[in-house]
């Protein structure tokens, strides 16, 4: 990482020369050093089919560069020009209800349509050839927010591809029939061509069909991304990304496998700061070897013709930027630079108004720029520390929950709540993709994953054998890969690995079930697994309800570590207290050192370099906060020594503390062995 970027989405194709000149001058004044351009500009580049011309962008990119502003170029594929769809209805995206999307917004075409892919390839190739070697082009973004407005397409192209996909997966139709149990309701298929898309039916579809269709669709999106990336790579060597989100209908782990760095968009409000921070702790781990980017966030408030959000309170955007940079971001960018004059997003917050004056968010941008400059020298010489506690995040788990949401459960909010608990407990945490390497972690959480692959179970079991503590559940392991029920044991291989026996599974909601653990009693909720504790050790007892005397929390010693199974979700405030005690208990047992007593609303981003540990302490709730420094250190911003004990940070302020360490000693309170794993090198680092 050579510098920290501070950027904005910019649409020069919408403005005249004079305005562009004014924009560039204003960007310099505001400290914008990178812009992202082109993601909706297809009709400006190719007004008529075949008339590709990007001279305009070439000139803009050159002028930006002459003024010290670098560029990320996007492929313009989310908004195909009207000539691509007018009179060609078969190219349009079709939703589950069978409605065809029309021209006028975005994502209205089927991205699996052959002709679309061909034209998308041509415009991508043109941009790569014409613009890729310009000075100041630092990266590429594919498309814009894949599947943010639409999910699975039900057009006839997709139907054919679906059949091909199934044939490739199962080989013979009988295999599909067997795996999906299609004699149920006379679904039995004689050929792949007969397998329907999960469109309208009088009642629900087969779970295997629905889950597979979603996975098929996510794979096709990743395939499209890879196709575009390959075209760009033929003539450019800048890194490639996509501005994604955990809110979209994509499998981010798969999507980013062949991309070069991770980036995402987020528009969470201050009250929902966990929804903002979860991104930093997830995307840092999606492409571990490269820093991530916040590709879009609002400089003040989001809005469209349909409504608007409230402006962020003064100071919050600066705290967001400080948190992102300190937790591993290289870039922090806004949507958008100049308020849109036309379209459907005129009410959206911007940096500059449509008439060229500073918008309400302008001063936030100045504050971010000040923070960027202040933090840059420190962040360029330190790296984010790998956490010791990891939570597995899985978009495939999201799909299983979409097919089978129980009582309207949503994976994103479940996982965010779970994450928030660790955040509030001051435990430094990583959200990691399903296939992530587990080395360096001490405590692993696997909640809300209906289907857990054998490979994951095996990896997590080995993690426990080597001394880690693996906590699985609630809601984890009860479904097979094809979204069917296990027939040998309720949780399949997980039971064997964890050495538990599940007696029954049923929804505990509404049964007045009460569990007790760690000195707390709480109502038990969600689809639950009740354990027989002959082989494992009961840590949570069911005191009331239909399974009195059995347990909902059970642990087994596995090698040098443990597997802990949480069969039910303790609810309400008592449940929250119980879960906190549970996490605390296992954090202690696992010997977690990366934990602080930061109050709610104040966070610590831990970093390291050869000289030791650096904490960036940031207040995110605007109330100010305090934290205990475990030892004496140096305030790197004020350049003065600081004593151990209480450190206060003002509302939305940040402080950077360096802990001087002698060899073998660390800045973390409970660190005993003096070893902290470097996240980037994957080796153990002495601090």
Residues 119-158 interacting with Zn ion (rule: CB under 5 A): 153, 155, 157-158
By the rule CB under 5 A, 110 interacts with Zn ion: yes
By the rule CB under 5 A, 598 interacts with Zn ion: no
Q: Per-residue b/e over 151-176, b at no fewer than 16 CB within 10 Å?
A: bbbbbebbbebbbebbbeebeebeeb
By the rule CB under 6 A, 143 interacts with ligand GAL: no
Q: Which does 153 bind (CB under 5 to 8 A by kind): ligand GAL, Zn ion, none?
A: Zn ion
Give the pair of three-digit tokens for residue 539.
């840590």
Q: Which does 265 bind (CB under 5 to 8 A by kind): Zn ion, ligand GAL, none?
A: ligand GAL
- 571: Cβ–Cβ under 8 A, 6 or more apart, which residues? 522, 523, 524, 525
Count of positions on this chain that bind ligand GAL (CB under 6 A): 10
Q: Which is nearer to ligand GAL, 145 or 555 (CB)?
A: 145
Identify which range of 142-150, 463-471, 490-498, 598-606 contacts ligand GAL by CB under 6 A.
142-150
By the rule CB under 6 A, 13 interacts with ligand GAL: no
Count of positions on this chain that bind Zn ion (CB under 5 A): 6
User: Looking at beta carbons, which residue is closest to ligand GAL?
Assistant: 302
Least distance from C-beta 195 to Zn ion, angstroms?
16
- Which of 107, 144, 270, 394: binder of ligand GAL (CB under 6 A)? 144
Q: Per-residue b/e over 93-128, b at no fewer than 16 CB within 10 Å?
A: bbeeeeebbebeebbbbbbbbeebbebbbebbbbbb
Residue bearing tokens 């991530």: 292
Which residue among 46, 254, 296, 367 is the active-site one? Answer: 296
E strand or H helix that includes residue 224: helix 207-233
- Which of 266, 270, 302, 602: binder of ligand GAL (CB under 6 A)? 302
Of the CA atoms within 13 Å of residue 60, those in its CB half-sphere come to 26
By the rule CB under 6 A, 145 interacts with ligand GAL: yes
Least distance from C-beta 538 to ligand GAL, angstroms?
47
Interatomic CA distance for residues 69 and 313, integer angstroms: 28
Q: Which is nearer to ligand GAL, 10 or 527 (CB)?
A: 10
By the rule CB under 6 A, 108 interacts with ligand GAL: no
Q: Per-residue b/e over 286-317, b at no fewer than 16 CB within 10 Å?
A: bbbebbbbbbbbbbbbbbeeeeebebbbebbb
Residue bearing tokens 């959000």: 309
Q: Which is nearer to Zn ion, 110 or 449 (CB)?
A: 110
Least distance from C-beta 20 to ligand GAL, angstroms?
20
Give the pair of three-digit tokens for residue 453.
């692959």
Give the pair of three-digit tokens for residue 623.
């109330």
- Which of 154, 162, 165, 267: binder of ligand GAL (CB under 6 A)? 267
E strand segments, 157-314: 240-241, 243-244, 263-265, 292-296, 303-304, 307-308
330 vs 285, 486, 548, 640, CA distance in Å? 14, 44, 53, 27
Interatomic CA distance for residues 317 and 350, integer angstroms: 13
- Widest CA span in the chain: 78
- x/- track of binding to ligand GAL for residues 391-430 (CB under 6 A): ----------------------------------------
Interatomic CA distance for residues 265 and 267, integer angstroms: 7
Interatomic CA distance for residues 335 and 348, integer angstroms: 9
Residues 461-490 interacting with ligand GAL (rule: CB under 6 A): none
- Which of 167, 345, 597, 665: binder of ligand GAL (CB under 6 A)? 345
Residues 156-195 interacting with Zn ion (rule: CB under 5 A): 157-158
Which residue among 39, 130, 145, 555 is the active-site one? Answer: 145
Q: Is 396 helix (H, G, I), strand (E, B) or coil?
A: helix
Q: Is 17 a residue of the active site? A: no
- 374: Cβ–Cβ under 8 A, 6 or more apart, which residues? 637
Q: Which is nearer to ligand GAL, 335 or 400 (CB)?
A: 335
Interatomic CA distance for residues 665 and 661, integer angstroms: 6
Identify which range of 140-148, 372-380, 406-414, 443-451 contacts ligand GAL by CB under 6 A.
140-148
Q: Which is nearer to ligand GAL, 312 or 429 (CB)?
A: 312
Q: Is 367 a residue of the active site? A: no
Least distance from C-beta 293 to ligand GAL, angstroms?
13
Q: Which is nearer to ligand GAL, 354 or 409 (CB)?
A: 354
Interatomic CA distance for residues 347 and 149, integer angstroms: 19
Q: Which does 110 bind (CB under 5 to 8 A by kind): Zn ion, ligand GAL, none?
A: Zn ion
Least distance from C-beta 349 to ligand GAL, angstroms?
9
Least distance from C-beta 126 to ligand GAL, angstroms?
22
Q: Which is nearer to Zn ion, 216 or 337 (CB)?
A: 216
3-state secondary structure 364-376: HHHHHHHHHHHHH
By the rule CB under 6 A, 148 interacts with ligand GAL: yes
By the rule CB under 6 A, 320 interacts with ligand GAL: no
Please tell me what DSSP assigns to residue 247: T
- Which of 130, 251, 281, 296: binder of ligand GAL (CB under 6 A)? 296
Name the nearest CA neighbour of 322 among 683, 95, 602: 602
Identify which range of 50-58, 143-151, 230-238, 567-575 contacts ligand GAL by CB under 6 A.
143-151
Least distance from C-beta 64 to ligand GAL, angstroms?
20
Least distance from C-beta 24 to ligand GAL, angstroms?
21
Interatomic CA distance for residues 143 and 244, integer angstroms: 10
Helices (H), 46-155: 55-66, 82-85, 114-131
- Which of 348, 372, 461, 479: binder of ligand GAL (CB under 6 A)? 348
Residue numbers at the binding site for ligand GAL (CB under 6 A): 144-145, 148, 265, 267, 296, 302, 335, 345, 348
Residue numbers at the binding site for Zn ion (CB under 5 A): 110, 112, 153, 155, 157-158
Active site residues: 145, 296
């Amino acid at each position: 990482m050579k510098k920290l970027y501070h950027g904005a989405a910019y649409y020069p194709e919408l403005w005249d020369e004079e305005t562009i000149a004014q924009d560039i001058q204003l960007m310099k004044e505001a400290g914008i050093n990178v812009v992202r351009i082109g993601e909706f500009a297809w009709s400006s580049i190719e007004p008529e089919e075949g008339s590709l011309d990007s001279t305009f962008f070439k000139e803009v990119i050159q002028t930006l560069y002459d003024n010290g502003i670098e560029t990320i170029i996007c492929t313009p594929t989310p908004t195909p020009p009207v000539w691509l769809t007018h009179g060609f209805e078969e190219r349009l995206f079709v939703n589950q209800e069978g409605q065809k999307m029309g021209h006028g917004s975005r994502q209205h075409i089927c991205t699996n349509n052959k002709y679309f892919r061909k034209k998308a390839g041509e415009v991508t190739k043109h941009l790569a050839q014409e613009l890729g070697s310009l000075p100041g082009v630092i990266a590429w973004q594919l498309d814009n927010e894949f599947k943010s407005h639409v999910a699975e397409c039900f057009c006839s192209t997709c139907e054919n591809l679906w059949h091909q996909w199934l044939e490739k997966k199962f080989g013979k139709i009988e295999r599909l029939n067997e795996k999906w149990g299609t004699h149920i309701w006379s679904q039995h298929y004689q050929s792949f061509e007969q397998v329907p898309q999960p469109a309208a039916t009088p009642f629900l579809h087969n779970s295997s069909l629905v889950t597979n269709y979603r996975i098929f669709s996510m794979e096709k999106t990743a395939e499209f991304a890879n196709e575009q990336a390959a075209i760009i790579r033929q003539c450019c060597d800048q890194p490639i990304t996509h501005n994604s989100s955990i809110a979209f209908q994509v499998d981010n782990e798969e999507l980013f496998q062949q991309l070069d760095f991770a980036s995402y968009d987020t528009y969470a409000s201050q009250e929902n700061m966990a929804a903002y921070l979860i991104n930093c702790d997830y995307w840092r781990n999606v492409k571990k070897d490269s820093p991530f980017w916040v590709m879009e966030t609002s400089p003040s408030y989001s809005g469209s013709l349909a409504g608007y959000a409230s402006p962020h309170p003064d100071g919050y955007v600066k705290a967001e930027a400080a948190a992102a940079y300190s937790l591993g971001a290289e870039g922090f960018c806004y949507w958008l630079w100049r308020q849109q004059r036309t379209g459907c997003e005129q009410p959206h917050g911007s940096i500059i108004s449509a008439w060229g004056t500073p918008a309400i968010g302008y001063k936030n941008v100045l504050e971010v720029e000040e923070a960027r400059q202040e933090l840059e020298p420190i962040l360029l010489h330190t790296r984010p520390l790998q956490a010791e506690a990891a939570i597995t995040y899985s978009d495939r788990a999201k799909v299983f929950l979409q097919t089978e949401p129980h009582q309207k459960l949503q994976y994103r909010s479940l996982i965010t709540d779970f994450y928030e608990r660790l955040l509030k407990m001051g435990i430094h945490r990583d959200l990691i993709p399903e296939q992530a390497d587990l080395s360096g972690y001490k405590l692993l959480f696997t909640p809300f994953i209906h289907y857990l692959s054998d490979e994951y179970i095996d990896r997590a079991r080995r993690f426990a054998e080597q001394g880690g503590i693996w906590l699985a559940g609630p809601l984890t392991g009860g479904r097979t890969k094809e979204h069917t029920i296990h027939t040998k044991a309720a949780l399949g291989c997980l039971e064997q690995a964890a050495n538990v026996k599940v007696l029954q599974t049923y929804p505990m909601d509404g049964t007045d079930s009460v569990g007790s653990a760690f000195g707390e009693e709480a109502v038990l909720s969600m689809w639950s697994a009740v354990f027989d504790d002959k082989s494992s050790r009961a840590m949570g007892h069911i005191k009331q309800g239909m399974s009195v005397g059995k347990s909902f929390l059970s642990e087994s010693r596995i090698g040098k570590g443990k597997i802990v199974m949480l069969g039910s979700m303790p609810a309400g405030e008592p449940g929250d207290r119980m879960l906190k005690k549970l996490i605390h208990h296992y954090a202690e047992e696992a010997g977690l050192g990366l934990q602080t007593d930061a109050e709610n609303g104040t966070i610590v981003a831990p970093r390291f370099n050869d000289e030791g540990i650096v904490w960036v302490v940031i207040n995110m709730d605007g109330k100010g906060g305090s934290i205990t420094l475990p030892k004496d250190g140096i305030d790197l911003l004020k350049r003065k020594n600081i004593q151990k004990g209480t450190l206060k940070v003002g509302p939305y302020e940040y402080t950077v503390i360096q802990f001087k360490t002698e060899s073998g000693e660390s800045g973390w309170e409970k660190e005993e062995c003096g070893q902290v794993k470097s996240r980037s090198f994957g080796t153990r680092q002495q601090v």
